[in-house]
Amino acid sequence: MARKLLLEHINVPGINTFDVYRSKGGYAAVEKALKTMSSDDVVEEVKKSGLRGRGGAGFPTGMKWSFLAKPEGVARYLVCNADESEPGTFKDRYLMTYLPHLLIEGMIVASYALGAKTSYIYVRGEMMPQIRILERAIAEAKNKGFLGKNILGSGYDLELYVQPGGGAYICGEETALLESLEGKRGNPRIKPPFPAIAGLYGCPTVVNNVESIAAVVPIINEGGEEYAKVGIGRSTGTKLISAGGNVKNPGVYEIDLGLPVEDFLYSEEYCGGIANGKRLKAVVAGGSSVPILPANLFMKTITGEPRLMSYESLAEGGFVSGTMMGSGGFIAFDEDQCIVRNTWNFARFYHHESCGQCSPCREGTGWMEKVLHRLEYGHGKMSDMDLLVDVSKKIEGNTICPLGDAAAWPVASAIRHFRDEFEWHVTNGAEAVKRNYGIAHYADPLPKPEPAA
């Protein structure tokens, strides 16, 4: 069993209280950072660790921190993005519910590294229990002198606030989150300027995912180089994966990056295989916005290599035959699931959540949803697939924020890999509303790549 860095003490009773967390070695990272390290040392340590943003894009966290502008006399902010709303992803909620102090500890260290005197945790509005848990944990930490003025006698002041959002998916986009935090309508800003230059209230701001911030704690405790030993290649450390769908044991798992997907999906330690003895049809590897893959392409890359749970291996093959790590929302589909229905469901979600600011996303998401609805209920046309691909291409990359891309990718990839099933929905319209297409050839072994001449 691999070592857990984040969820080591998850099963200790009362770990959500300050005393138990402290007795298990909690807040050691705060002590170490504030007493023995300068803020630049902390940034350097995180850089060394190779930690990549856990929110979806996988941008190196240390690099992000070092981009932060540091003009004299201007406040800097750290904002924790806890607006986790990606369908299929629920790791941050889990972390906040059971280990609130881990997040707070990470926030203190990260704020210290960035020189932020005020930091915010922006939590999605639906997560009311988590907001209360965090509020209580912050009050506890403050009582014990880990927040507020002159933390541990180091002369460093930090105020930490929890801000509930309104529950909009778009507010998970960092600039929309900042707008919302400022009390405005949650529309993404047009970049540049990036938040590192002008973010919250026009001041330099870093926005990090909950898990990225929590991962700072083991990095400081053990040193960046030690952390970088876990994992594979440029995917260092451990990652929380929220496994859902038709797996036997759904839940949040901490894995070492580089774990073979076969092990993750079928070993009893993790997902335990597909529920009810069925076969795997398709996988969404990192939350609803990443490209969906059929079982055969998911288990092996197009070159025949076994796929690993790492940023690089999942992305191998690009968008033609690969997918993305995303935010770690692992959804498995068994042979009874309908890909058309699932794609429609995702499209419906993005249609509902588009902010309506820029035209391709505002109009295009609704259009795709309507066409997919028609296909799902057996009224589609053969030309609809090409139409969907074309519309998704017109949206992708032409929008202000990545929501347009997120809406386009699942549709485009579903048609790329499951075109037969879409066509079956057109040719057998009446049947399509009664039964599903089944697994077809989606789990067949991949054809051997032709030897290069």
Partner 1 sequence: MKVTIDGISVEVEAGTSILNAARIIGGDIVPPAMCYYSKLEGSGGKCRTCLVKVSKGSEKDPRPMPKLVASCRTTVMDGMEVQNITSPEVIEARKGIVEMLLINHPLDCPICDQAGECDLQNLGYEHGAVKTRYEFDRRTFEKIDIGDKIQLHMTRCILCYRCVFTADQITNHREHGILNRGDHSEISTYIQKAVDNDFSGNVIDVCPVGALTDKTFRFKNRVWFTKPVEAHRDCNHENCKGKVTLWYKGEEVLRVTARKDIYGEVEDFICNECRFDKKKTADWVIEGPRKVSNQSVISSNHYDTMKPLPVVKSNPVLIEANQEQFERETRL
366 binds partner 1 (CB under 8 A): yes
- Supply 78's token pair: 């750290």
Q: Where are the alpha helices (DSSP H) in 269-310?
A: 295-299
3-state secondary structure of 161: strand
The one-character DSSP state at 148 is: B
DSSP strand E in 277-421: where?
280-284, 292-294, 308-309, 329-334
The least CB distance from residue 367 to partner 1, in Å, is: 6
User: Residue 112 phi/psi, 5° resolution?
Assistant: -60, -45
- Binds partner 1 by CB under 8 A, chosen from 358, 368, 432, 439: 358
288 binds partner 1 (CB under 8 A): no
- Supply 400's token pair: 């202000």
141 binds partner 1 (CB under 8 A): no
Total residues belonging to the chain: 453
Part of the chain binding partner 1 (CB under 8 A), chosen from 67-75, 320-328, 392-400, 437-445: 392-400
The least CB distance from residue 405 to partner 1, in Å, is: 10
The one-character DSSP state at 274 is: B
382 binds partner 1 (CB under 8 A): no
Part of the chain binding partner 1 (CB under 8 A), chosen from 3-11, 117-125, 353-361, 442-450: 353-361
Number of helices (H), then strands (E), in the chain: 20, 13
360 binds partner 1 (CB under 8 A): yes
Q: Which residues pair with 156 in a beta bridge?
A: none
20 binds partner 1 (CB under 8 A): no
What residues contact residue 440 under an 8 Å CB cut-off, 6+ apart? Answer: 420, 421
The least CB distance from residue 375 to partner 1, in Å, is: 13
Q: Which is nearer to partner 1, 140 or 376 (CB)?
A: 376
319 binds partner 1 (CB under 8 A): no
Per-residue x/- track, 183-222, partner 1 (CB under 8 A): --x----x--------------------------------
124 binds partner 1 (CB under 8 A): no
- Binds partner 1 by CB under 8 A, chosen from 43, 400, 414, 439: 400
- Binds partner 1 by CB under 8 A, chosen from 81, 130, 208, 354: 354
Q: Which is nearer to partner 1, 55 or 402 (CB)?
A: 402
The least CB distance from residue 404 to partner 1, in Å, is: 10
Burial class, 338, CB count within 10 angstroms (exposed 0-12 / middle 13-18 / buried 19+):
buried
Q: What is the 3-state composition of the chain as percent helix, strand, coil, each rounded to the nearest 5?
A: 45, 15, 40
289 binds partner 1 (CB under 8 A): no
SS (H, E, C) 25-87: CCCHHHHHHHHHCCHHHHHHHHHHHCCECCCCCCCEHHHHHHCCCCCCCCCCEEEEEECCCCC
387 binds partner 1 (CB under 8 A): yes
Binding residues for partner 1 restricted to 333-352, rule: CB under 8 A: 351-352
362 binds partner 1 (CB under 8 A): yes
- Binds partner 1 by CB under 8 A, chosen from 223, 370, 429, 446: 370
Amino acid letter, residue 384: D
Q: Which residues bind partner 1 (CB under 8 A)?
A: 168, 170, 185, 190, 351-360, 362-367, 370, 387, 390-391, 393-394, 397-400
